[in-house]
Amino acid sequence: MEGKEVLPRHVGLIMDGNGRWAKLRHMPRSYGHNAGMNRMIGLAEHAKARGVKYLTAYTLSTENLARPKEEVEGLYNLFRKYFKSNVKKLYKKGSAVKVIGDLSALPEDVAALLREGEENSPADAQFTLIFAINYGTRSEILRAVNLAVENGKKLCAEEFAKFLYTDGIPDPDFIIRTGGEKRLSNFLTFQAAYAELYFCDILFPDFSDAEFDAALDEFARRDRRFGNV
Query: Should residue 175 be labelled a site residue for ligand FPP when binding is judged by CB under 6 A?
Result: no
Query: Should residue 98 be labelled a site residue for ligand FPP when binding is judged by CB under 6 A?
Result: no
Residues of this chain, 39-68, that bind ligand FPP according to CB under 6 A: 40, 59, 64
**Residue 48: what residue type?**
K
Query: Should residue 19 be labelled a site residue for ligand FPP when binding is judged by CB under 6 A?
Result: yes
Query: Should residue 80 be labelled a site residue for ligand FPP when binding is judged by CB under 6 A?
Result: no
Strands of 95-100's sheet in order across: 95-100, 127-135, 54-61, 10-14, 174-177, 196-199
Options 33, 48, 98, 177; binder of ligand FPP; rule CB under 6 A? 33
Q: What are phi and psi of 74, to 5 degrees?
A: -60, -40
In this complex, which beta carbon is closest to ligand FPP, that of residue 155 or of residue 197? Answer: 197
Query: Should residue 113 be labelled a site residue for ligand FPP when binding is judged by CB under 6 A?
Result: no
Query: Should residue 15 be labelled a site residue for ligand FPP when binding is judged by CB under 6 A?
Result: yes
Measured CA to CA in angstroms, residue 137 lies from 40, 81, 104, 112, 125 at distances of: 22, 26, 16, 23, 26
- Taken in order 16, 63, 141, 121, the sign of the CA dihedral is negative
> Which segment (75-83, 90-98, 193-201, 215-223) binds ligand FPP by CB under 6 A?
75-83
CB of 55 to ligand FPP, least distance (A): 11
Closest CA to 166 of 98, 224, 95, 69: 98
Residue length of the chain: 229
Active-site residue numbers? Answer: 16, 64
Query: Should residue 179 be labelled a site residue for ligand FPP when binding is judged by CB under 6 A?
Result: yes
CB of 37 to ligand FPP, least distance (A): 4
In this complex, which beta carbon is closest to ligand FPP, that of residue 12 or of residue 19? Answer: 19
CB of 188 to ligand FPP, least distance (A): 15
Distance CA 12, CA 149 (A): 29
Query: Should residue 18 be labelled a site residue for ligand FPP when binding is judged by CB under 6 A?
Result: yes
Closest CA to 102 of 72, 53, 65: 65
Q: What are phi and psi of 210, to 5 degrees?
A: -65, -35
Q: What are phi and psi of 18, to 5 degrees?
A: -60, -40
In this complex, which beta carbon is closest to ligand FPP, that of residue 18 or of residue 134? Answer: 18
Q: What are phi and psi of 62, to 5 degrees?
A: -60, -35
CB of 36 to ligand FPP, least distance (A): 3
Applying CB under 6 A, the residues found at the interface with ligand FPP are: 15-20, 29, 33, 36-37, 40, 59, 64, 78-79, 82, 179
